[in-house]
A and B are shown apart, each in its own frame.
Chain A
Amino acid sequence: TQLLEQSPQFLSIQEGENLTVYCNSSSVFSSLQWYRQEPGEGPVLLVTVVTGGEVKKLKRLTFQFGDARKDSSLHITAAQPGDTGLYLCAEGGTTSGTYKYIFGTGTRLKVLA
């Protein structure tokens, strides 16, 4: 069974600071998604990466997929209080032979004004 470890588990920073969170797998991802979840709501998709070495940008968020497709990072520039939430990576491909979308352990981010 593929395991997705995320680090750090918790992060509390001041508004305007930069941060990076990581997602690491015990095996190769076929594709990887990043979601953000706010309290009382379900996760919402931010991005999907498929190709090793791929970099995608979404406003102040930069997503990178490792060359070997076993890790990914999410970098936030000039964090804002609205970025507060639980960040989740998910593997949504055929690694296990099905499309069951395994989620990581999550990084809980709090941005202080």
Chain B
Amino acid sequence: EAGVAQSPRYKIIEKRQSVAFWCNPISGHATLYWYQQILGQGPKLLIQFQNNGVVDDSQLPKDRFSAERLKGVDSTLKIQPAKLEDSAVYLCASSSGTSTYNEQFFGPGTRLTVL
């Protein structure tokens, strides 16, 4: 079974530029998550989707971050414009449901460096 795929793996941009990350979850997983992992910290949930609807985006900085999950499968996370403090690894995860018994499976992440 294929795991969670993410691209690109690495991205370097200048501040104030835009960037987009892509995630393809495990086939059949209805729930998709985006996390931000800043160096030296644990992952922080940015947004959670159930199919193509948003379940929780309370920690998403909506003035610059946006995410969508059209058709309830793939998802993109966008930052516009980027700031220095956005430098982090962006992790995508998926699960078959939203209960505690539904394990989250993580992709390898996209490492973003903002100069």
Answer yes or no: are A and B bound together in one complex.
Answer: no
Which residues in B have some Cβ–Cβ distance to A below 8 Å?
A: none
